[in-house]
Chains A and B, each alone.
Chain A
Amino acid sequence: MNTSTIIFYAIAALILGAAILAVTSLKIFRSAIWLLFSLVGIAALYFWMQVEFIAAIQIVVYVGGIVVLIIFSIFLTQQSGKEMAKPATGKMIFSALAALFGIAFTFNLINHYGFNNISAAPFNPSVDEIGMQMLSTTSHGFILPFEVVSMLLLAAMVGCIVIAMKPTEANIVHLNKKED
């Protein structure tokens, strides 16, 4: 039991504890803050696995982007001090049973699989390695998914603007006509 092992179990406890509080807290703003802690814990787990680039991306995109977006939408749509209604007891029990069954089943599978082909080759997830492979056009390059995902982001951006756009004058007239 050395320091690295202890750090791993501490990070795991942080991730799981914060995640449980995030899905059970009745105040929606607290729930978002617990989600933030859980995501920071996952970033710490990536740092522990020595994949610093993914950890940085996790912090920038999730903590800096998605959680802030979620908190803004909470402020736009809710009275954040108010408690949400408690879920029905029966539903809570059956959901917890389903989740526990899933956890037990998967734990059992993982335990008995026995990953015995653990490789000892050096792992080099440096940024220049990732960048070279991301933009390479050879058979192990990821240029095609890179381009496709950039099109997806463009489409998502246009879609968000169209969905959230205020209805124009012409649309309002059209809607009013419909109501008449």
Chain B
Amino acid sequence: MNEVPLTHILFVSTALFFIGMYGLFTRRNIITMLMSIELMLNSVNINFVAFNKYLFPDKLDGLFFSLFIITIAAAEAAVAIAIIINLYRSHQSIDVDDATEMKF
């Protein structure tokens, strides 16, 4: 268990965060962009839990942070999907390039 150093867990979460960032930059479809954001939020959760376990095992603050992040991510996904379905109803498409009315 302790043979894996903390840095390796941080490497995994960093790689996951930047994979999510790559997806956010290249995708044009709102649902796939939402998936990339979920990946990024999950990488942050891994960081909180790993720091809590390795550096401050006598406290539980990191676990609470990740619990609240999971809750807020669920609320965010629900609102985002309501907006996506409404956008599809009015534009017949969920591509970000097709919804440019509010672009300045």
Contacts and interface: CB of A to CB of B under 8 A. Distances in A.
Interface of A: 1-2, 4-5, 8, 12, 15-16, 19-20, 22-24, 28, 31-32, 35, 38-39, 42, 45-46, 49-51, 53-54, 57-58, 61-62, 65-66, 69-70, 72-74, 76-78, 84-85, 87, 91-92, 94-96, 98-100, 102-103, 106-107, 110-111, 115, 117-123, 125, 129-130, 133-134, 140, 142, 145, 149, 152-153, 156-157, 159-160, 163-164
Contacts of B3: 1-2, 4-5
Given A8-B8, A28-B29, 6 more contacts: A5-B4, A16-B16, A84-B29, A107-B11, A119-B58, A164-B82
17 contacts: A23-B20, A23-B27, A28-B29, A31-B32, A32-B31, A54-B66, A57-B70, A66-B38, A66-B77, A69-B81, A70-B77, A78-B94, A87-B27, A96-B22, A98-B25, A103-B14, A163-B83
Q: Provide the main secondary structure of the chain A interface.
A: helix
B67 A54 contact: yes
Interface residues of B, number: 69
Contacts of A49: 9, 49-50, 53
B12 A12 contact: yes
B25 A51 contact: no
Interface in B57-89: 57-60, 63-64, 66-68, 70-79, 81-86, 88
Nearest to A65: B74
A115 B7 contact: yes
Nearest to A34: B35
A117 B55 contact: yes
B40 to A, nearest CB: 10
Contacts of A42: 42, 45-46
A20 to B, nearest CB: 6
Contact of B63 (A31, A38, A51, A157): A51
Contact of A99 (B21, B49, B56, B64): B21
A163 B86 contact: yes
B6 interface: yes
A85 B35 contact: no
Contacts of B4: 4-5, 8
Given A45-B46, A153-B75, A16 B15 contact: yes
